[in-house]
Chain A
Amino acid sequence: MAEGTIEREILIEAPVEVVWRVLTEPEHLQGWFSDTAALDLRPGGAGRVTFDNRPEGELVDVQVQVESVEPPHRFAFRWDHQAGAEADPTNSLHVEFTLLSEGEGTRLKLVEAGFEQSGRESKIESHRQGWATLLPKLLDYAPAQSGEPTR
């Protein structure tokens, strides 16, 4: 894994065209990504997603700037920059989805990068370093309910 990068992939039993729609249509974005989503789906297009963590947390409003739209194989954007600012490597994180046909399904790959350039490296570094040895033990040790995924 490259420095300051998160890489994930998953095999989906649906054709790339279907996965593409789920990835890019605001109606679906609200099902897997955020509580609200608005997106101008073209390179340079602006978008906005909100995460409603109330009442424990707050309403988080995140800016998105579309970078590449190559249906149905590649979708990339930058996010988490200040509202009104042009997204660039120093102020935002880069997210890229790649969709590859595999049999009758789709292999979906995700790469999120830019933790270092944008000064968010403390999070990724701590995540990456040392957990290989500690994590398996922690998983045995921590009570079962700790596995809840958080947004």
Chain B
Amino acid sequence: MSTALAEDRLWAAIGEPSRRRLLDVLLVEGEATPTGLATQLPYSRQAVAKHLAVLERVGLVEPRREGREVRYSVQAGRLEEAIRLMSKVASTWDGRLLAIKRIAEQIHREETASRASNRSPR
């Protein structure tokens, strides 16, 4: 799968508000079954299972079988990737503005210092 396509799928998976709520609860719980999640969210167990399947396909959650139950947990690495992707545009500007600040303040300090040394007799 190309990177762009993989990113698109990740977007699609996490772009849906009910799936984000589900991830939210899963983060707090650590690990949960579809039934357990359905009791905490206004979705049916079937709807929860569908969302989990989408999240599992892009690697955001991982199932673990325990007896007759399947317990799901959030995959930290993949989640980080999704967060990075989502905050890319904005954090980009944050980074740029900080760089502008750093450069402008450096220039200003240098110019102020050189003006001061020109004025003061040696």
Residues of chain A whose beta carbon lies under 8 Å from any beta carbon of chain B: 6, 8-10, 12-15, 18-19, 21-23, 28, 31-33, 106, 108, 110, 112, 122-127, 129-131, 133-135, 137-138, 141-143, 146, 149-151
Chain B residues near A13 (CB, 8 Å)? 101, 105, 108
Known: A110-B93, A143-B76. 19 other contacts (CB 8 A): A8-B94, A10-B97, A10-B98, A13-B108, A14-B104, A15-B108, A19-B100, A19-B104, A22-B103, A23-B100, A32-B100, A127-B86, A127-B87, A129-B15, A137-B27, A138-B27, A142-B83, A149-B94, A150-B84
Q: Which chain A residue lies CB-closest to B10? A: A126
Known: A12-B104, A126-B14. A142 touches B95 (CB 8 A): no
**CA of A10 to CA of B101, assembled, Å:** 8
Known: A14-B108, A146-B83. A141 touches B76 (CB 8 A): yes
Chain A residues near B87 (CB, 8 Å)? 127
Q: Binding site of B, secondary structure by majority: helix, strand, loop or mixed?
A: helix
Interface residues of B in 70-97 (CB under 8 A from A): 74, 76, 79-80, 83-84, 86-97
CB of B27 within 8 A of CB of A6, answer: no
Known: A108-B97, A110-B93. A12 touches B83 (CB 8 A): no
Q: Which chain B residue lies CB-closest to A147? A: B91
Interface residues of B in 97-122 (CB under 8 A from A): 97-101, 103-105, 107-108, 111
CB of A32 within 8 A of CB of B93, answer: no
Distance to closest chain B CB from A27 (angstroms): 10
**CA of A135 to CA of B84, assembled, Å:** 11
**CA of A124 to CA of B15, assembled, Å:** 10
**CA of A12 to CA of B97, assembled, Å:** 9
**CA of A151 to CA of B104, assembled, Å:** 20
Chain A residues near B108 (CB, 8 Å)? 13-15, 18
**CA of A129 to CA of B20, assembled, Å:** 10
From A22, A32, A138, A149, contact of B107 by CB (8 A): A22
Q: With an 8 A cutoff between CB atoms, is B23 at the interface?
A: yes
Distance to closest chain B CB from A6 (angstroms): 6
Chain B residues near A110 (CB, 8 Å)? 93, 97
